[in-house]
Amino acid sequence: MNIAIISDSIYPYFKGGKEKRINEVSTRLATRGEIVTVYSMHWWKGKNTIKENGVTLRAISPLYPLYHGNRRSFKEAILFSLHCITLINKKFDVIEVDHMPHLVLFPLKIVCLLKGKKMIVTWHEVWGKEYWQQYIGRGMRASVAYYIEKISAQLPDTIISVSEQTTKSLRASLGVKKPIVTIGNGIDMKRILSNKPADRGADVVFAGRLLSHKHVDVLIHSIATLAKTHQNISLWIIGEGPEKTSLQSLVKELGIEKNVSFLGFLDDQNDMYSIMQASRIFVLPSTREGFGIAALEANACGMPFITIDHEQNATKELVVNGENGILIGLDQEEMAQAIEKLLNTAKDRAFYRTYAEKYDWNRIVSEIQNVYAS
């Protein structure tokens, strides 16, 4: 099959959960003999079209900043969406679109109708009216954004949802009645285990985008609480994002600079796996996750994880509470207690790996291929 995948951000130029999924799926499809082209912004240097790991990357627009301040850029969403109409001139059998930004689905639906193709959309998370109000404030803008999300959800011929939570929200919050296939994210166990532990690790690790809904500030406060009785406790924060400056200021304000280190984004994913294999606990304090690949990767590296019991956090679906991780409320004291408990009672690394083994990318890609073929 000639497969077109559309996303405004791609790995390794932007390192998030959806970007990892596209990278893992597209490269595996290519090794299986499929013709795969990923259409995105011009993230790389040089020509508009390059080839990486058997996958063609084609820039259909210049690189526009994804963020304006602490929020996703509406300008980028509009401009990239307008460029998507150029796919009318491209050849493909199957088109799969990432659902963010929602505006891209409108021109691509026109493209699919004119070319007589079905549009498959991968949906990672549902924002809904309440979260739009939190994100951009109450008023007309939030209402318009919500209705764009709701209308866009009616456009796909088939939706691939990455979690049962997202599937339920698509039905309940956005009123989707068209087919939804739930296919989760995965991990590359072979690659993870091929890395040796780093020479040094941390007591606690966080990895991800530094965004407000990730609540890394709550994690930092919990470390400050623990530092009163565990003077040498360490937290390593892997990632970048608009909240980084305020989080660094918080660390300084709490006087725990010796306990908390900001590592930024690591150029090589293997370096993160090495650090995780040398560290003890992973904490994902997010209240909004479409899946939570990082938590699975932590288990694969032999670490238990802590995450938040929130209706919009799909990572909770991965927790067998008290076994491979702990589910808590968004509270710094409760988080500090959970961290201390795991520091004192964590099991052998092989125990946690057993919970990650069933989430293998090869199985997941086979399921996605079946959706394409149908």
Which pLDDT does position 136 carry in this prediction? 85
Which pLDDT does position 134 carry in this prediction? 85
- According to the per-residue pLDDT averaged within each range, which of 133-137, 140-144, 340-344 is highest? 340-344
234: phi then psi, degrees, rounded to nearest 5: -125, 140
- Count of beta carbons in the 10 Å neighbourhood of residue 34: 19
Q: Concatenated DSSP letters for 90-138?
A: S--SEEEEE-SSGGGHHHHHHHHHHHT--EEEEE----HHHHHHHHH-S
pTM, to two decimals: 0.77
Q: Is 124 exposed, middle or buried (0-12, 13-18, 19+ CB in 10 A)?
A: buried
Nearest partner of 120 among 94, 96, 102, judged by Cα: 96
Q: In this structure, which CATH number among 1.20.210.10, 3.90.1010.10, 1.10.10.60, 3.40.50.2000 belongs to the domain 2-186+360-373?
A: 3.40.50.2000
- Find tokens 């725990």 and name the residue: 256
Which pLDDT does position 288 carry in this prediction? 87
Residues pairing with 55 in the sheet: 52
Read off the pLDDT band of 137 (50, 70, 90). Answer: confident
Q: Render pLDDT for 72-94 as a digit per residue (tens, 0 to 9).
A: 899 999 999 999 999 999 999 99
Read off the pLDDT band of 201 (50, 70, 90). Answer: very high
Asked whether residue 336 carries a pLDDT value surpassing 90, the answer given is yes
Which pLDDT does position 69 carry in this prediction? 82
Q: Render pLDDT for 24-37 as a digit per residue (tens, 0 to 9).
A: 999 999 999 999 99
Give exposure, 3-22, as e/b (b: 16+ Cβ within 10 Å): bbbbbbbbbeebbbbbbbbb
What fold is seen in the domain 189-356? Answer: Rossmann fold (3.40.50)
- Count of beta carbons in the 10 Å neighbourhood of residue 185: 23
In the chain, CATH 3.40.50.2000 covers 2-186+360-373, 189-356
325: phi then psi, degrees, rounded to nearest 5: 180, -175
Measured CA to CA, the distance from residue 91 to residue 88 in angstroms comes to 8
What single DSSP character describes residue 86?
G
Consecutive H or E run containing 194: none
Measured CA to CA, the distance from residue 38 to residue 8 in angstroms comes to 10
Locate 195 and state its tokens. Answer: 């890395």
Measured CA to CA, the distance from residue 265 to residue 249 in angstroms comes to 19
Hey, which bits of the chain come out as E strands? 2-6, 35-41, 49-52, 55-61, 67-68, 71-72, 94-98, 119-123, 158-161, 180-182, 204-207, 235-238, 260-264, 281-284, 305-308, 325-328
Locate 263 and state its tokens. Answer: 């590592």
Q: Render pLDDT for 216-245 as a digit per residue (tens, 0 to 9).
A: 999 999 999 999 999 999 999 999 999 999
**Are 239 and 206 within 8 A, CB to CB?**
yes
Asked whether residue 70 carries a pLDDT value surpassing 80, the answer given is no
Q: Render pLDDT for 247-264 as a digit per residue (tens, 0 to 9).
A: 999 999 999 999 999 999
